[in-house]
Amino acid sequence: MKPYYEPKPALVERMKLLLKDEKDLNEFFDCAKTTGKKSIRVNTLKISPEDLIKRLKDKNWKVSQPIKNHPEIIQIQSILEPGELGKTEEHLLGYYYVQEITSMMPIIALNPVEDEIVMDLCASPGSKTTQAAMQMKNCGTIIANDLNIGRISILSANLERFGITNTIVTRHDGLDLCSKLQKSRTKIKFDKILVDAPCSGEGNIRCSPRTYLEWSEGLIRNLGNRQKKLASAAVELLKTNGEMIYSTCTHSPEENEEVLQHLINNYNISIEEITLPIKTRPGISEWKGNKFHQDIKKAHRIYHHDNDMEGFFLCKIKKLSGKKEI
């Protein structure tokens, strides 16, 4: 049985403000005590969903494809031994990636295509980088960046396991990388950028109960300031009409809507409508007296009790021509 820690009173009070009513709040925290079903994403560069499902069923695993029009997303209905998903021959061969379904949504929303130049600014361990490369059919170019050498090693190993050949791995602080690319002679600009920002992890409570112990409002404020800088630096590197997904696995408005409001205040951007194949809720319109731009409602909040999945936040941003008039 996984450990369970009680949420701090301040977190409970914040969630009361974010959720609809007491029933919604109770369902949120009740769901946090449960363990969700495991999911995997088929590597269609190496195997078809049908062929992988056949191999999994030969192991007597029960599986399903819960997302319409996304046969590559498979949910494991069987109860497996801890770590079993990562020990199979199919995993070793790079036929699938163990990944939360909500974690697949940013690349589904970003929709990178074959001839584009794409950056994954905070890439390790590689779930979204490999998903983007797969969607691009191993064509185009991806820059996958992370800072920690251990995480870079995991990222590189996953790219190799998946047979990814269109990706350049860089090891930099995200802000430093953006600054260097801005100053480079090539003046590289990107068609698509993913900023899946390091965050407080409130959406990962089910798989990481220690989040309750490590959570604090001070941590949220510090992360929010860092995320504003990361997202701003990434916007600078977009081509005109280029698109960026900003995402986190947290519910904190300081790390989500406030970051979007910062971008709206400082850059000539638009918040784009996106449709996701799971249940979501709109971005909030205000937080603790601070009102947000009406377009921030186009962002997507994902709560674990709405889908029996992990929690997430994401939004698509388009860079417009010209400078922001302030």
User: Catalytic annotation on 249?
Assistant: yes
For residue 150, give the DSSP letter: H
Burial class (CB in 10 A: 0-12, 13-18, 19+), 225: middle
Question: Please, what's the b/e burial string for 283-311 (b: 16 or more CB within 10 A of its CB; e: otherwise)?
Answer: bbeebeeeebbebbebbbbbbbbbbebbb
C-alpha dihedral sign at 236, 238, 241, 247: negative
39-42: strand order across its sheet:
63-64, 73-76, 39-42, 96-98
Among all chains, which residue has been given the structure tokens 């009513």? 21
Among all chains, which residue has been given the structure tokens 């701090």? 8
Phi, psi (degrees; rounded to nearest 5) at 32: -60, -25
Phi, psi (degrees; rounded to nearest 5) at 53: -60, -40
Largest Cα–Cα distance of the chain, in whole Å? 62
Burial class (CB in 10 A: 0-12, 13-18, 19+), 115: exposed
Identified catalytic residue from 31, 122, 249, 315 = 249
> What are the residue numbers of the active site?
249
